[in-house]
């Protein structure tokens, strides 16, 4: 039952089994793969459920979904889109406003498994330290992309955006986009923990702003049971979000209110004391904590 620093969640695995200790991770991977498959069964089997990609998609010829960040860049670049794009943006904004903007990052984004993989390997190899950069850098980059769009009159960020590049690549042909993914993997592995998703990516930064007041949040009803094993910190892609809620810093209620929590649920998976559950920011639970054996 001793959690070695190289295997966060080992205690839970020993106690409740591997599947229970990876429940949300498995669901998340299923969501990521499932969403990708929805896009791929069209070109693969001519089964057209969803057309397009994460920038804009059209489901069953009725549901438009538009990436709001991209639409904002488009407006900055000086173009006003057609009606369907606007409807799509409204749906997406409302969805993530309720479910947490960065839920996109951990449940939808195709770069997330790459970043998670790098972090997993980093932990297993015991790699520590690396370059340091403020997590607010992404907001600066976000502002910069909008300014560049306005100055150049192009959606400039789209030309280098690894998120869109990957997703579009998987559906329409990868080209050299693999190189970008490899670069992110190596950067996250060797240069900076969660370097891309946690510090630089303006897409995530934008979604965090949408989800600032999200209803779906991770709650900590049993935060008094915390035994400081630090497993949640080891797996959390945005470590700074846990402490205020867990340690009641400045009287923070037992709910993670930080906009950059990605609702990935890994803390729920790995906590042997069942401190975390999914719930609403206003209280109440959406998932029952697994009863601890102690």
Partner 1 sequence: MDQESKPKPAGSNAARRQFLADTARMACGVGLLGLGLGFYARQATALPPVALRPPGALPEAEFSAACIRCGMCVRDCPFNMLHLAKAGEPMSIGTPYFIARQAPCEMCEDIPCLKACPTGALDHSLTDIAKAKMGLAVLVDQEICLNFLGLRCDICYRVCPLLDKAITLAPQPNPRTGTHTLFIPVVHSNHCTGCGLCEKACPTEIAAIKVFPLYMAKGQLSAHYRLGWVEKEKAGGSLVTPDIQHQYHLPEGLRYEYAPGKGLSTVPQGEVPPAPAAPVIPKAIQGNKL
Is residue 284 part of the contact set for partner 1 (CB under 8 A)?
no
Q: Which of residues 22, 28, 168, 266 is near partner 1 by CB under 8 A?
A: 168
- The DSSP result for 238-253, as a single string, is TGGGHHHHHTTGGG--
Tell me which DSSP letter residue 285 carries.
Answer: B
Is residue 106 part of the contact set for partner 1 (CB under 8 A)?
no
In sign, the C-alpha dihedral spanning 266, 269, 270, 275 is positive
- Gap between the Cα atoms of 123 and 99, Å rounded: 29
Looking at 82-90, 98-106, 117-125, 263-271, which segment touches partner 1 (CB under 8 A)? 82-90
In sign, the C-alpha dihedral spanning 53, 34, 176, 164 is positive
Pairing between β-strand 56-59 and β-strand 63-66 as defined by DSSP bridges = antiparallel
Cβ proximity to partner 1: between 81 and 221 the closer is 81
Cβ proximity to partner 1: between 26 and 147 the closer is 147
Is residue 158 part of the contact set for partner 1 (CB under 8 A)?
yes
Is residue 244 part of the contact set for partner 1 (CB under 8 A)?
no
Looking at 22-30, 93-101, 170-178, 229-237, which segment touches partner 1 (CB under 8 A)? 170-178
90-95's contacts with Cβ under 8 Å and 24+ in sequence apart are 91/63, 91/64, 91/65, 92/65, 92/66, 92/67, 92/68, 93/68, 93/210
Is residue 130 part of the contact set for partner 1 (CB under 8 A)?
no
Residues 175-234 that bind partner 1 (CB under 8 A): 175-177, 179-180
Which tokens belong to 45?
């089997």
- Gap between the Cα atoms of 46 and 57, Å rounded: 16
Cβ proximity to partner 1: between 125 and 152 the closer is 152
Picking from 218, 211, 190, the residue whose alpha carbon sits closest to that of residue 278 is 218
Is residue 144 part of the contact set for partner 1 (CB under 8 A)?
yes
Q: Which of residues 1, 26, 94, 136 is near partner 1 by CB under 8 A?
A: 136
Size of the site for partner 1 (CB under 8 A): 62
Query: Which residues of this chain interact with partner 1, rule CB under 8 A?
Result: 42, 48, 51-53, 55-58, 64, 66-67, 70-71, 74, 77-82, 84-85, 88, 132-137, 140-141, 143-145, 147-149, 151-160, 164-165, 168-169, 171-177, 179-180, 240
């Amino acid at each position: 039952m001793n959690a070695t620093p190289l295997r966060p969640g080992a205690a839970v695995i020993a106690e409740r089994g591997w599947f229970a200790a990876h429940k949300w991770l498995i669901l998340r991977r299923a969501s990521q793969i499932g969403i990708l498959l929805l896009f791929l069964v069209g070109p693969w089997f001519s089964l057209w459920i969803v057309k397009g990609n994460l920038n804009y998609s059209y489901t069953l010829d009725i549901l438009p979904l538009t990436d709001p960040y991209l639409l904002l860049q488009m407006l900055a670049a000086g173009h006003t889109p057609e009606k369907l794009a606007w409807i799509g943006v409204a749906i997406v904004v409302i969805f993530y406003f309720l479910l947490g903007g960065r839920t996109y990052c951990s449940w939808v984004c195709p770069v997330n498994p790459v970043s998670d993989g790098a972090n997993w390997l980093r932990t297993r190899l015991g790699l520590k330290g690396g370059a340091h950069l403020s997590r607010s850098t992404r907001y600066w980059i976000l502002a910069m992309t909008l300014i560049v769009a306005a100055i150049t009159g192009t959606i400039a960020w789209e030309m280098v955006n690894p998120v869109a590049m990957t997703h579009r690549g998987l559906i329409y042909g990868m080209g050299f986009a693999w190189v970008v993914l490899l670069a992110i993997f190596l950067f996250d592995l060797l240069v900076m923990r969660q370097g891309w998703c946690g510090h630089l990516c303006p897409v995530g930064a934008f979604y965090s702003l949408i989800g600032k007041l999200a209803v779906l949040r991770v709650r900590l009803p049993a935060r008094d049971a915390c035994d400081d094993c630090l497993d949640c910190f080891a797996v959390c892609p945005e470590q700074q979000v846990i402490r205020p809620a867990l340690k009641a810093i400045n009287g923070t209620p037992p709910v993670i209110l930080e906009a950059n929590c990605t609702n990935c649920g890994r803390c729920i998976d790995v906590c042997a004391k069942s401190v975390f559950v999914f719930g609403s920011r206003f209280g109440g639970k959406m998932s029952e904590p697994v009863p601890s054996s102690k």
